[in-house]
Structure 1
Amino acid sequence: MYHTWMRYFTPGPVHHRLGLVCLGVGLQHGALPPVGPRTLDHHVAVVISAGTGWLQTPDGHTHSVTAPALLWLTPGIPHHYGAAPGSGWDEAFADFTGTAVTAYTELGYIQPDHPLVPLADTTAARTAIARIARAARRGNPLLEVETSAAVHELLVALRRARTTTGPDTDPVLTALARDAFLPLSVTQHAARHGMTPAELRTAVRRSAGCSPKDYLLGIRLGRAKELLAATELPVAAVARRVGYDDPAYFSRLFTRRVGTAPIRFRQRQGQAVPGGWSHHIPDPEHPPVIRSRPYA
């Protein structure tokens, strides 16, 4: 005995330009019949939140599946899976496709080479899929956009839920973020962690989906933008605060990566943000609390 509910969508060309569209959603539980063997032309994330079953991969091996777990079904790759006889399992799935899938794969959020992924928890992933299910009501004019946004949320939730990810932070990334503004090379950062540069690159790419250099650069440029937008510090002082002793090099790097020079960035922000300059340098670790006040 099993119970199943599912809906399928056909987004139009305009919605496909969002980069990621949802093609279907389903919630099922019980002794479900096996799926496949079959091959699809899109991705499916199958979230198993309770029970056990099996997954047969194209190499002919059969793998035991124990909840909580994720099954990645990827385009062009045959798959065959099912719940264990008897009590079965509890699953939720979302079908999706789009140009953004390539970037999510490069960043490590989607793992074509790992069709079975152990999860620490499925609560956030199930919440994202439930959001898709709620949006699937007949006549919803926001259907395609709401479900697209929920697929982004689902991919983040699944990335965070991997048993190899840890609760909320990665110690290597935390340490790199702490030391991001020190004038250190990637080799020197690696040495501070007792790692080789290759080991550091592997660790950062696994956790953040990018190289250590790009990870550090993102933190530095983000902080530089905050200082340019919220203070009157000279560009040279901003450069030094984010780890660059050569302000000319910093300006060239900022211009290349941001698309505008530091001075121009400051001018735009100063024109866009009412209230003028602040006398307090923003502290990323302690954002202000906005309290509502009754209108006069």
Structure 2
Amino acid sequence: MPVQIAHYRTPPDGVRALGLAVTGAGTILGQGRPRPRRALTGYAGVMVTSGTGHLVLHDRPGRHRIGPGTFFWLPPGVRHTYGPSGGTWDEHWVLFEGPSTGGYESLGYLGGGVAAVEVADPAWVGAAMTRLVELTGRATSLPDHVALGAALHAVIPAVGPGRRLPPDRAPASPLGHQAIALLTADLERPVRIGEVARELSVSRDTLIAAVRAVTGDTPIDYLTRHRLDRAKVMLADTDLPVGAIARRVGYTGHAYFTRVFTQRAGMSPTAFREQAFREQAPPEDRPG
């Protein structure tokens, strides 16, 4: 007989508006019974820690192989079948809902990409899921439910979308990481996506898809974010003029750099530097 721990909760009013509300979590050791053609009203996540089996989402092609360290998401309303094959497996599961689910899916999480994910750090995710189950079992107050949502927010990026497993295929190559290294190797040098693609012997479309799989952005959008992140460090930690910082992160024009920075950061480079100075300086040294 399997050993089961299951906790179900109705979150207090207002918790859902924070983004994610956990409505249940549990652990099953020695699960031997498949879940056939079931559909849920909310989202679910399942982490398999031992044993092997399969997952089928009946509105999508393919049968996903599941093994230790595999995590899969079950979107609401999607009929699915999953379970161990020829034996048992151990699993942790969580049920949840909330407005953040749409944003995560649009970024490729929560089944917005491939459903079955080979977790990069299964020990960490397994421990985090165990913690989620424990927190759910103790959740009675508003702070408890807020902490539950925060814990789930930490699990989702740890699961993926990195190293996603298509049906019956091995993990993807590190092409995206190679492309990122080339894109950011010399920020002062103009970057041409076609040249990077040729250096990696892939098409431009393949390069863009590989970078998006790792960063969630196109190469140009990722590079812009990276350049602005470097500019923020120099604005906060050096006395370099804004024009010099612009050149060091790849912008030949001071005005264009200021426009891009202001659009992305919500303030000008000069205002950002002043804010960073006020945050870092001791009280007796702060102007005004």
Aligned residue for 1:178, secondary structure, equals coil
Pairwise CA RMSD: 2.6
Quick one: which amino acid aligns to residue 246 of structure 1?
A: G
CA distance in 2 between counterparts of 1:64 and 1:258 reads 43
Q: Given the alignment, which residue of 230, 233, 241 partners 2:248?
A: 241
CA distance in 1 between counterparts of 2:246 and 2:35 reads 57
The corresponding residue for 1:187 is: 194
The corresponding residue for 1:197 is: 204
Deviations 1:164-220, CA, capped at 9 Å, x for gaps: 3679x9322233232344222333433443333212211111111111111111111
CA distance in 2 between counterparts of 1:41 and 1:130 reads 23
The corresponding residue for 1:92 is: 92
Higher alpha-carbon deviation: 88-97 or 112-121 = 112-121
Higher alpha-carbon deviation: 104-113 or 158-167 = 158-167
Deviations 1:85-121, CA, capped at 9 Å, x for gaps: 5x40011111222222222222222324633334465
The corresponding residue for 2:133 is: 133
The corresponding residue for 2:168 is: none
How much does 1:140 deviate? 5.2
Q: Calculate percent identity across the aligned residue pairs.
A: 33
Q: How does 1:108-119 map to 2 (within 5 A)?
A: 108-112=108-112, 114-119=114-119
Quick one: which amino acid aligns to residue 263 of structure 2?
A: R
CA distance in 1 between counterparts of 2:185 and 2:11 reads 43
The corresponding residue for 2:217 is: 210
How much does 1:228 deviate? 0.9
CA distance in 2 between counterparts of 1:251 and 1:113 reads 35
The corresponding residue for 1:175 is: 182
Kept in 2, the 8 Å contact 1:106–1:209? The answer is no
Quick one: which amino acid aligns to residue 218 of structure 2?
A: S
Kept in 2, the 8 Å contact 1:180–1:219? The answer is no
Kept in 2, the 8 Å contact 1:25–1:132? The answer is yes
Quick one: which amino acid aligns to residue 69 of structure 2?
A: P
CA distance in 1 between counterparts of 2:66 and 2:178 reads 29
The answer for unaligned runs of 5 or more in structure 2 is 166-170
Q: Provide closer, same or farther for how the CA distance between residues 162 and 253 of structure 1 changes in structure 2, counting only shifts above 3 A.
A: same
CA distance in 2 between counterparts of 1:14 and 1:84 reads 41
Q: Provide closer, same or farther for how the CA distance between residues 274 and 165 of structure 1 changes in structure 2, counting only shifts above 3 A.
A: farther
The answer to whether 1:259 aligns with 2:266 is yes
CA distance in 2 between counterparts of 1:18 and 1:234 reads 40
TM-score by length of 1: 0.82
CA distance in 1 between counterparts of 2:217 and 2:6 reads 36
